[in-house]
Amino acid sequence: MSFYSKQDLIDLPKNHDTLVAIDSDGCVFDSMGIKQRDCFHPVIIRHWGLEAIEHQLRETAEFVNLFSKSRGQNRFTALLRVFELLPNRADVKNTGVVTPPVAPLRAFIESNQPLTNTGLERELELTGDPELNRLLQWSLDVNRVIEDTVKNVPPFPWVREALEKMSAMSDRIVCSQTPEDALIREWKENGIEHFVSVIAGQELGSKAEHIKLASRGKYESSNVLMIGDAPGDFKAAAANDALFFPVVPGAEETSWKRLVDESYDRFLRGEYAGSYQDELLSEFDASLPEEPSWNL
């Protein structure tokens, strides 16, 4: 069941001259770590029988999903990156463990299907590939474990103050690749869902598509700001010629306070683009490496 549709983004009421799109996991909520370590990683290990290389799997998956420039990707593209890196590790080669195949997962990602469970179900119907069935069962299992495990995770400090401030001057949407039901539950648990008009998850397309649908024909690109914690969030903004405010991993509280005290006001005054944004992006880029330490 979907609570929001693409039409809700298209029909977003224009009450202000500016639009703010806000990522959720790792940006508003400190939920990425617990979701990865307590939900994604153990379910990967169980479904692909990787108990013998649990440490290497967890370290690789943390790098991909938390501590690198691939942070915040769609779960399927992130899993492909993990499975590509694993067999190249010397401490995996030495174990003799056969790592998961990547061809079926890559074929799904390169297909025209949306990178969601529904898209995967369609691809499975077309191909009958048992590895895609394993992938689907993994993804469904991850959702169940997250629902059972991740509860009442509060927003980072200064998030509520930022939402309150933005609600007076900008239209606001959630722009995420997390499944919609989890997003809605997390925003409602913390009583902040009323600060946004649409909560857009992976079911409504990519983050770039969310911004395009909500902003097209209504806002000047210089009046659209994406708030995110991953390079993919910046790319979604750039695809729409929008501005980007980075919530720096490991410095989330500082980032949100800076947004409240300084950055959002600059955005409203038209003083954000250029050297100011470039300085923020430089700090953000430096916080996330490209290659894992075991490849250096």
pTM over 0.95: no
Cβ neighbour number for residue 261 with a 10 Å cutoff: 13
Q: If you average pLDDT over residues 164-170, what whole number do you get? A: 98
Angle, vertex CA 184, rays to CA 183 and CA 185, nearest 5: 90
pLDDT at 2: 60
Average pLDDT, the chain: 96
In the chain, the number of structural domains is 2
Flag whether 89 is in a domain.
yes
**pLDDT for residue 1 is more than 60:** no
Residues 50 and 127 in one domain: yes
49 CB-side CA count, 13 A: 6
Q: Domain of residue 206: give its range.
A: 6-30+154-286
**pLDDT for residue 296 is more than 60:** no
Residues 278 and 170 in one domain: yes
Residues 13 and 50 in one domain: no
Domain boundary among 130, 149, 168: 149
CATH number, domain at 186?
3.40.50.1000
Flag whether 260 is in a domain.
yes
Residues 15 and 159 in one domain: yes
Q: What is the pLDDT of residues 210-234, one digit of tens each?
A: 999 999 999 999 999 999 999 999 9
